[in-house]
A = this chain, B = another copy of it.
Amino acid sequence: MKSDIGDKKDENVAGNGLLHRRALLKASTLGIAGGFLLPAQANLSSIPGAPQSVYGKPSRFTGLQREQTAGHPFGPEAGSSSSPLQSLNGTITPNSLHFERHHAGIPDINPERHSLTIHGDVNQTLKFSYENLLAYPMESHRYFLECSGNSYRNTLPTALDLTAGSLNGLISGAEWTGVPLHYLLDEAGLGKDSSWVIAEGADASGHTRSIPLQLILDTAMVALYQNGEPLRPAQGYPMRLFVPGCEGNISVKWLEAIKVQQTPAYTREETSKYTDLLKDGTAEMFSLGMEVKSVITSPSGTMKLRRKGVYEISGMAWSGARMISAVEVSADGGKTWAEAMLQSDSQTNALTRFRIPWHWSGQPSVLQSRAIDSKGNVQPTRNMALERYSMANYYHYNGIQSWQVDAKGIVKNVYV
């Protein structure tokens, strides 16, 4: 028995019912009344079930799926799908539920007909087949991937009554395995004034991004596997660039070329699109690192608390600036804060799960989480996060997500 648990039972650590993160919970304090809600007995034990299969699937009772956001009316293949954060736990997103964002749909690439060329300001142009790359030394790391447009709906003037995934689900976590990019760049031989790489994908959008060499020399990889298996087509099969901690669109999928040069390429995506419009009408370019951020995934939008008593507040935090060092949770709309428990195996630029028990008295409450990273960055309030930007800006919003629990237990996205 872990004796440090019992010692702290029933200890309140912040306003409106936040309990110590190691509080000892019991069915009585949970508010589970009447003999623990005895369910009807299914009496399954005499019926043999389905046999094993070559490829597994989820239970029909989970209804697990991603939400698709509409693409362009004349081009449905340009759109995205969001991870259902409210149905997930831990830090890994299963590959079938990892968020997607495509500019011209998912190409169906035969790896034997695909290659990666490294060219430009290098000593020798190199061209790698998929099979060639498989022979190179690989590394595996758990990383988050976030679309720079994640949570943009919370920048709109009115709070939308949607789920955690619909609002914030363009973020996922996975174990990525691939060839460190510096092996390939070393082999090509960088010109002495090289300072940018231009990464180009093989899809129909001609998606092309300029990335400072500085940003990718140590940590970027040509990713070949995601959560153990070869990349899915929606994630760039047979290969993608992966730049940890940065906006997803520079981790170019279906990677077919890396050009080394002394300046950025100023492609369509980095002039018309992935720039951040500021209040003064100018736009910030190459703001590639993702901010410190967190979201409570349970309880969260559209859920209903069906009883008073104790719940585990659970969510995810991440920062492109390295590790998450703490996550604070408030149950009174930001008046008081308590420190949540962090999952123990947190890694640089990876999702971190946080958890804290909360006693819901039945009163209206506002739940919030605030992440702090190892460089001391603190997740801002919504107002602070919006301050620099034009109202027309789409990108890099990292304001605190507020969930209101009303007296009926209904949970709803609110701005406070």
Question: Hey, which bits of chain A sit against chain B, CB under 8 A?
Answer: 1-2, 5-6, 23-27, 30, 32, 35-42, 44-62, 64-68, 71, 75-77, 79-81, 87-98, 100-102, 104-115, 126-129, 131-132, 135-142, 173-177, 182-183, 186-187, 202-204, 206, 217-218, 224-225, 227-234, 237-238, 254, 306, 309-312, 314, 343-345, 347, 353, 355, 357
Contacts and interface: CB of A to CB of B under 8 A. Distances in A.
B106 A55 contact: no
Given A51-B79, A138-B355, A173-B228, 14 more contacts: A24-B183, A39-B129, A48-B77, A49-B77, A49-B233, A52-B106, A53-B100, A58-B95, A62-B229, A64-B229, A89-B224, A90-B227, A97-B228, A139-B343
B26 A135 contact: no
Contact of A35 (B39, B127, B140): B127
A309 B134 CA distance: 13
Given A37-B131, A59-B230, A203-B49, A175 B112 contact: no
A230 B87 contact: yes
A366 to B, nearest CB: 20
24 contacts: A25-B136, A26-B187, A27-B187, A36-B132, A37-B131, A38-B127, A44-B107, A46-B204, A52-B101, A52-B102, A54-B66, A55-B97, A56-B232, A59-B109, A60-B108, A61-B237, A62-B237, A90-B176, A90-B227, A94-B94, A137-B355, A138-B355, A139-B343, A227-B227
Nearest to A65: B54
A94 B310 CA distance: 33
Nearest to A49: B105
A186 B4 CA distance: 13
B27 A232 contact: no
Contacts of A44: 107, 109, 202-204, 254
Contact of A177 (B36, B90, B126, B232): B90
Given A92-B92, A228-B88, A229-B94, A102 B1 contact: no
A96 B229 CA distance: 10
Nearest to A22: B137
B49 A312 contact: no
A66 B51 CA distance: 13
Nearest to A309: B135
A52 to B, nearest CB: 4
B225 A90 contact: yes
B56 A91 contact: no
B50 A108 contact: yes
Contacts of A202: 42, 44-45
B61 A107 contact: no
Contact of A108 (B49, B68, B93): B49
B80 A228 contact: no
A77 B48 CA distance: 7
B137 A25 contact: yes
A105 B30 CA distance: 35
The 10 closest A-B pairs by CB, nearest first: A49-B105, A90-B140, A54-B65, A42-B113, A52-B81, A49-B106, A90-B177, A56-B96, A89-B225, A49-B107
Contacts of A104: 48-49
A45 B309 CA distance: 56
B132 A32 contact: yes
